[in-house]
Structure 1
Amino acid sequence: MRSRTLNIFLFIIVVLLAVLPLAFVNGEFGGADNAAEQLIQTLHPSYEPWFSSLFELPAETESMLFALQAAIGAGFIGFAIGYFKGKASRSKSE
């Protein structure tokens, strides 16, 4: 396969991996915290949490912190890949 054809093929696969799960989801996405809370209420209705948060962050702030965490992780992974690739190419040229 030529390089361009391979890139187009990989791009289509990535788009399908991102879009198909969204097309087959019935209802809305729920977080793991909500699912766990519902399961606990179903299994043990009289359960009372022994701890509650001191303050609740707005949903926008939680989303922003999650996106910031993802960006920092992606930056770290990108830096590591670039560092090791540069180190490997430097050792080949010597």
Structure 2
Amino acid sequence: MKVWQKNLILIGLVILLAAFPLWYCRDAEFGGADGMAGELIEESNPDYEPWFQPIFEPASGEVESLLFALQAAIGSGIVCFVLGRVTAKKPEDQKKV
């Protein structure tokens, strides 16, 4: 099997893995864990007061999603850069091959 065929199969599997839950659970609410944790705390202890207040409150849910995606992209870029540097062949190792 050629490399491009393997890559095509892997891309198809990733798309299927991402789309299957959306198709299978059509009426499900995909909420975040933060909201669920806040509701659970309020149910178990209605007098609870948070220790800290947020420093920055995004203007809307879209801005919050954008900032989260940006944070994830920067983090994955750093991780991939470090992994690339760690696993890269050194020039003296390339001469031996």
TM-score, length-normalised on structure 1? 0.71
For 1:81, the aligned partner's letter is L
**Runs of 5+ consecutive residues of structure 1 not aligned to the other structure:** none
Partner of 2:35: 34
Contact 2:41 2:48 (C-alpha < 8 Å) held by counterparts: no
Q: CA RMSD in A?
A: 2.5
Superposed CA offset, 1:2-37 (max 9, x none): 323211211111111111122233333211111012
For 1:20, the aligned partner's letter is F
If each structure's helix is expressed as a fraction of its own residues, which one has the higher value?
Answer: 1
Partner of 1:62: 64
Partner of 1:79: 81
For 2:38, the aligned partner's letter is E
Cα distance in 1 between the residues matched to 2:86 and 2:8: 27
Count residues in correspondence. 92
Tell me the percent identity. 38
Partner of 2:19: 19
For 1:6, the aligned partner's letter is K
TM-score, length-normalised on structure 2? 0.70
